[in-house]
């Protein structure tokens, strides 16, 4: 349903489904990433009038996840580029 692209890396299309409506992409060495592209594959559209929020997560100093809202994708806006550099600082 979704894909993720980081410059200089292979496209990821195998998101891990962690809940009925939640998917996760692992981004190793995320500290070196400036931007990430999230896109719909076109195989399964959202229900009419719906979309998906895109979050970035990184561990805080205690190892607990911090979730940062980046934006969204919809059938009308099936891809977006998000800047993630500097979010942790």
Identify which of 44, 38, 23 has the alpha carbon closest to the alpha carbon of residue 72.
Answer: 38
C-beta of residue 3 within 8 angstroms of C-beta of residue 38: yes
pTM above 0.75, yes or no: yes
What local confidence, expressed as pLDDT, does residue 87 receive? 82
What local confidence, expressed as pLDDT, does residue 89 receive? 60
Give the chain as a DSSP string. -EEEE-TTSPPB--PEEEETTEEE---TTGGG--EEEEEE-SSSPPPTT-EEEEEEEEE-TTS-EEEEEEEEEESSS-EEEEE-TTS--
- pLDDT one-digit tens code per residue, 16-69: 999 999 999 999 999 999 999 999 999 999 999 999 999 999 999 899 999 999
């Amino acid at each position: 349903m979704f894909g993720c692209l980081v410059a200089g890396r292979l496209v990821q299309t195998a998101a891990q489904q962690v809940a009925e409506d939640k998917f996760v992409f692992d981004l190793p060495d995320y500290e070196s990433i400036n931007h990430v592209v999230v896109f719909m594959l076109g195989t399964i559209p959202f229900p009419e009038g719906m979309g998906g929020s895109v979050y970035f997560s990184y561990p805080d100093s205690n190892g607990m996840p911090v979730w940062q809202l980046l934006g969204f994708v919809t059938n009308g806006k099936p891809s977006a580029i998000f800047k993630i550099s500097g979010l942790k600082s």
